[in-house]
Amino acid sequence: MMTDDAPTIIRRKRGDDEEEHHGGVWKLAFADFMTAMMAFFLVMWLINSTSKETKAAIVQYFNPIQLVDATSAHKGLRDPAQQEGGKSAQSSEHVEPAPEDRPGDKEAALHSEPLKALDEIAAQERAPPPPRDAPRDPFDRAPRSGASSPEAPDDASLSGKAASALRAEIERIAAQEARAPKVEVKPSDEGLLISLTDDANFSMFAVGSIEPRPQLVRIIAQIGKILAGRRGEVELRGHTDGRSYSSRHYDNWRLSSDRATIVNYMLIRGGLPAARIGRIVGYADRRLKTPKDPLAPVNRRIEILLRGAER
């Protein structure tokens, strides 16, 4: 039984065609669109303002095989517009399908006529000193140092008159170049060990290639002249960093051994008798100089061991 004091409850049922209005959804979509546009323009600005050397370092880091020499591609990486008369423009690799699977012209010449090819490379003009604000490898965490300043080893590594004298001679040779590898000479149980390493400002070879820089050819030739006047068998060792190189022609093992082989011809070109070369070996990335940082430039090095030398 209902009384007059009972409250009256009214229920209103919304029709099927009456949907709730979501007025804020378009704002979220618009905000996402604006964020994407800002990111796009930021990337375009970075591409436009970044130097070719920095772009090459970035591409090398993420894909070290497909790009061997980015600086030679003026209109884009392997741009078909570079082709003239049905032939691709000169670069470190041909602009053809799967270029990483075939050696470039300079590499082929180094394999077929190494001494002649090295003469042509060494004849290239000396590079001017790098500007102080020159771009560096953005992925290199090592402190920046002068490219022509050899790495200063500790006092223990300079024990022995022969090591000190030889290091002084090689330092003098390297100082003649605007850019040069780091140099270290130290005595070991086997003899005198000469190490030439990359740094953030200088690479001895083109990326993933046996093509040497002109500075390296000239420096190694002078080292060969020095070693020709000293007794002892010479052993050459090639080392790569921790990046994994893999193509039809090169992996880390062959790259390290072939680079050491090219150094052999550089020494012969400088006057070292071929009979003095007792061993050439590549260690790939199995003997890193800085195991905690496998991608550091100092892991890429060439070692020349003068066996039986006075230490």
CATH code of 300's domain: 3.30.1330.60
Helix, strand or coil for residue 185?
Answer: strand
254 shares its domain with 189: yes
Q: What pLDDT score was predicted for residue 22?
A: 57
46 shares its domain with 121: no
Q: What pLDDT score was predicted for residue 43?
A: 84
* Burial (Cβ within 10 Å: 0-12, 13-18, ≥19) of residue 59: middle
Q: Is residue 169 part of a domain?
A: yes
Q: What pLDDT score was predicted for residue 49?
A: 80
How many other CB atoms are found less than 10 A from the CB of residue 281? 13
Q: What pLDDT score was predicted for residue 4?
A: 63
Sign of CA pseudo-dihedral 139, 145, 148, 153: negative
155 shares its domain with 235: yes
How would residue 137 be classed by pLDDT, with cut points 50, 70 and 90? very low
CA angle 256, 224, 181 (to 5 degrees): 55
Position 103 pLDDT exceeds 60: no
Q: Is residue 225 part of a domain?
A: yes
Q: Is residue 87 part of a domain?
A: no
Cα(261)–Cα(264) distance, rounded to whole angstroms? 5
172 shares its domain with 41: no
200 shares its domain with 293: yes
Q: What is the pLDDT of residues 149-165, one digit of tens each?
A: 334 344 334 346 777 88
How would residue 311 be classed by pLDDT, with cut points 50, 70 and 90? low
| Residues 100/93, Cβ–Cβ less than 8 Å | yes
270 shares its domain with 121: yes
Q: Is residue 262 part of a domain?
A: yes
Question: Domain count of the chain?
Answer: 2
Q: Is residue 12 part of a domain?
A: no
Position 227 pLDDT exceeds 90: yes
214 shares its domain with 273: yes
Q: What pLDDT score was predicted for residue 13?
A: 65
How would residue 176 be classed by pLDDT, with cut points 50, 70 and 90? confident
For residue 213 the two structure tokens come to 């820089």
CA distances from 19 to 12, 13, 16, 62 (A): 15, 12, 7, 51
Q: What is the mean pLDDT of the chain?
A: 75
32-36, 95-99, 121-125: which range is least confident on average?
Answer: 95-99
18-32, 55-69, 225-239: which range is least confident on average?
Answer: 55-69
Q: Is residue 76 part of a domain?
A: no
Helix, strand or coil for residue 175?
Answer: helix
163 shares its domain with 300: yes
More confident residue, 64 or 241: 241
Helix, strand or coil for residue 108?
Answer: helix
Q: Is residue 3 part of a domain?
A: no
261 shares its domain with 188: yes
Residue percentage of the chain with pLDDT more than 90: 32
The residue ranges of DSSP E strands in 180-300, in sequence order, are 182-187, 191-197, 234-239, 277-282
Q: Is residue 32 part of a domain?
A: yes
110-119, 231-240, 266-275: which range is least confident on average?
Answer: 110-119
Find the DSSP H helices in the chain.
25-49, 52-62, 105-112, 114-122, 161-175, 214-228, 252-269
- Expressed as residue numbers, the domain containing 53 is 27-62
Helix, strand or coil for residue 134?
Answer: coil
Q: What pLDDT score was predicted for residue 55?
A: 73
pTM (predicted TM-score): 0.59
* Burial (Cβ within 10 Å: 0-12, 13-18, ≥19) of residue 298: buried
For residue 17 the two structure tokens come to 């065609």
282 shares its domain with 209: yes
109 shares its domain with 159: yes
223 shares its domain with 278: yes
Q: What pLDDT score was predicted for residue 197?
A: 94
Over residues 276-284, the mean pLDDT reads 95
Q: What pLDDT score was predicted for residue 101?
A: 45
